[in-house]
Structure 1
Amino acid sequence: MITEFLARSNFTWTDVQEPETEDFERLSSDFSLPYLLVQDCLRPEHLPKYEESEEGGHFLMMRSFDNDSHHHDTSVQELTRKIALFINENRLVTIHRVELPFLVSVADKTKKSDFPKTLHGLIHQVIISIIRTYDVPVLRLQDLYDGFEHEILAKKNEHLSTIRIYHFRRQTFVLKRILKQTNDSLYRAKDFWSEHPSMLQDLRENIDQLYFQLDEISSNFEHLFELHIALNDQRANSVMKILTVFSSILLPLNFIASFYGMNFDYLPGLHSQSALMILTAVMVFITIAAVWFFRRRGWFNTARE
């Protein structure tokens, strides 16, 4: 479906949603767009890129975040939607498969005002609206990180879900990758923005801001995950310390019991009536001495902590 979003004396904006065969032919004939390039731009695996045609036109592939994506989506195709921008001297053509509300919003704003006055200004507004779609997922990832931090530091959950960790790290990586390649694509298009360097700078600064936020979240999570592993190791060491304390207390008692449990007739005190009382007293003394020793060393307190 081809829609004329904006028509002014010095430039026009045409939007194409889910193009069909006849739309490809019209784009090729009426808008002088390469037929094969238009078909190729709809392939789902494309990442952000910039190309300049031999006829002097410009082609910019962008990806916006898909607000309908699920929390368990982890691939580029699942998390983002592709949008192609074909630019010539006085025309912008945007092509995409599904409806993108932010494009409609930009079109409505431009129709109600005289701004932007140039094609570059319009393209700047369109790209800014694409970049701004990443605000929500970045904030959501920040909230997820805060949740992980609370669970780990408050010791409410000693065993974090590996699935949650995988989804979090994968989504962070994918968004960083898309923003990085978008920034690189805009840099390669610097000749297109040669007369409007401030617009290009504004676009790259907006991308850098989101990228640095994601990079900070990713870095903080790696440190937090290392802390989580260290805390689990500390808990394991505490358990081992408790086992060591009780083993040390029982070891001499087991030795005495094993010694007098041997099948021999001649053992010290074996036939003595007072041997049982003496051995019992010795075992109680050893137990009390071991408990006093470990308590004095603070091992019981450390285990409880």
Structure 2
Amino acid sequence: MSTQLKKFKNFEWLDIQKPKKEFFTPSSLPFPVEFNLLEDALEHGHLPKIEHQGTHRFIILRAFSAEPKASSTDLAKLTNKIAFLLYENYLVTIHQKPFDFLGSLEEQSFDSAEDLMLKIFGLMLDTYERPLQWLAEKMDESEQELFVQNQQKTSLKSLYFQKAKARICRKVLQLSQNVLNQLEVNAAHQSALQDLKETTQSYLLHFDEVVEDAHSLMQTHMSLSAQKSNEVMKLLTIFSAFFLPLTFIVGVYGMNFDHIPELHWQKGYYFAWGIMLLISVMIWVWFKRKKFI
């Protein structure tokens, strides 16, 4: 557990990283906090939320922390949370994973704890930019492979992970949007809050497009695979239609009975060939007229 206290002109910021449950208690914080809020702050997979508790507000948001190409469908592996305790002149941030953007804020100036919190919110939302760009590029690559290059290169497993990742990001952003909609700030910060809402809405729309594209590509991939299977079955059916009657003729005249009527025909061999060729031509003409081939 590591703590860092940063004093600004009008407020103080306490950043707590990797808090240990046995040492992280309401008495370890500068202001009294309900124990259930500390449990939420320690829970790795807790979803975004906001609660008003007397003189302070408790907020949880999640930032995308994994590599964009990571193949995972686990919320806790793709994103990590920061819990905020906002007082009038004090901000407490609690997180397990280190975030580089938090260090860049120490040298900046802020007029209030609320101003700093909104700035952190914006930096957390910016973490979704890289996975969004990566997913959009992968969708374009998959689309080209599917329609222009070789369908076999398109991996349904890869599309599944891309769709799952976009769906998780979309869900987290939807919950984050609910938090921002419930958040009340001072008049001086209304514009900053509105910018955050618009940024969240923009990311939501883009992730919606990725999910829809991934779903469409998966459906198209399965349709093309089914079409190829149908073409193979059609080809096998055509071959069967040609060879079944010929096999029947060969089977009849291949029987080893002594008294087969046509057994001693001098031109029986040529006659059998003629019948088989005639049947083959008739089948071919019928298929052509029916546009099967």
- TM above 0.5, one fold? yes
**Is contact 1:83-1:94 (8 Å) kept?**
yes
| Deviation readout 1:86-135 (Å, 9 max, x if unpaired) | 10111111111222101112333x14xxxx43433222211000110111
Equivalent residues in 2 for 1:59-208, closer than 5 Å: 59-67=58-66, 71-108=70-107, 110-111=108-109, 116-158=110-152, 160-189=154-183, 191-192=184-185, 196-208=189-201
* Contact 1:193–1:200 (CA under 8 A) maintained in structure 2: no
Query: Where does 1:1-305 land on structure 2 (aligned, <5 Å)?
Result: 1-8=2-9, 10-20=10-20, 24=24, 28=27, 31-34=30-33, 36=35, 37-54=37-54, 56-67=55-66, 71-108=70-107, 110-111=108-109, 116-158=110-152, 160-189=154-183, 191-192=184-185, 196-294=189-287, 299-300=292-293
For residues 237 and 39 of structure 1, the distance between their equivalents in structure 2, rounded to whole angstroms, comes to: 57
Q: What is the distance in 1 between the residues matched to 2:201 and 2:68?
A: 23
Post-superposition Cα deviations, 1:217-238, rounded to whole Å, max 9, x if no partner, equal 1112212211111111111111
* Contact 2:87/2:113, CA 8 A, preserved across alignment: no
Go from structure 1 to structure 2 and tell me whether the alpha carbon gap of 1:69 and 1:274 turns closer, same or farther (over 3 Å shift): closer
Show structure 2 runs of 5+ residues with no match: none
Q: Is the Cα–Cα contact under 8 Å of residues 21 and 42 in structure 2 kept in the other structure? A: no
Distance 1:244 1:238 in 2: 10
In structure 2, do the counterparts of structure 1 residues 149 and 143 end up closer, same or farther at CA, with 3 Å as the change threshold?
same
TM-score scaled by length of structure 1? 0.84
Inter-partner Cα distance in structure 2 for 1:184 and 1:41: 18
1: distance between equivalents of 2:251 and 2:29? 99
Unpaired segments ≥5 residues, structure 1: 301-305
Indicate the percent of aligned positions where both proteins have the same amino acid.
31
CA distance in 2, matches of 1:241, 1:260: 29
Is the Cα–Cα contact under 8 Å of residues 63 and 128 in structure 2 kept in the other structure? yes
Query: What is the DSSP-based 3-state SS (H/G/I as helix, E as strand, rest coil) of the residue aligned with 1:106?
Result: coil
SS in 2 for 1:158: helix
For residues 121 and 245 of structure 1, the distance between their equivalents in structure 2, rounded to whole angstroms, comes to 74
When normalised by structure 2's length, the TM-score is 0.87
TM-fit CA distance, 1:44: 0.9
Cα distance in 2, alignment partners of residues 275 and 29 from structure 1:
106
Deviation at 1:277, TM superposition (A): 1.4
Contact 1:3/1:15 (8 A) holds in 2: yes
Q: More deviation in 118-127 or 210-219? A: 118-127
Residue 289 of structure 1 deviates from its aligned partner by 4.1
Distance 2:131 2:175 in 1: 18
Contact 2:60/2:82 (8 A) holds in 1: yes
CA contact (8 A) 1:17 1:98 kept: yes
Say whether the 8 Å CA contact 1:57–1:87 is kept in structure 2.
yes
Contact persistence 2:156–2:218 (CA under 8 A) = no
State the Cα deviation string for residues 166-220 of structure 1 (Å, max 9, x = none): 322221221111111111122222x345664333221111111111111111112
For 2:209, the aligned partner's letter is: E
Deviation at 1:261, TM superposition (A): 3.0
Whole-Å Cα distance in 1 between the matches of residues 81 and 217 of structure 2? Answer: 34
RMSD between aligned residues: 2.7
CA contact (8 A) 1:158 1:232 kept: no
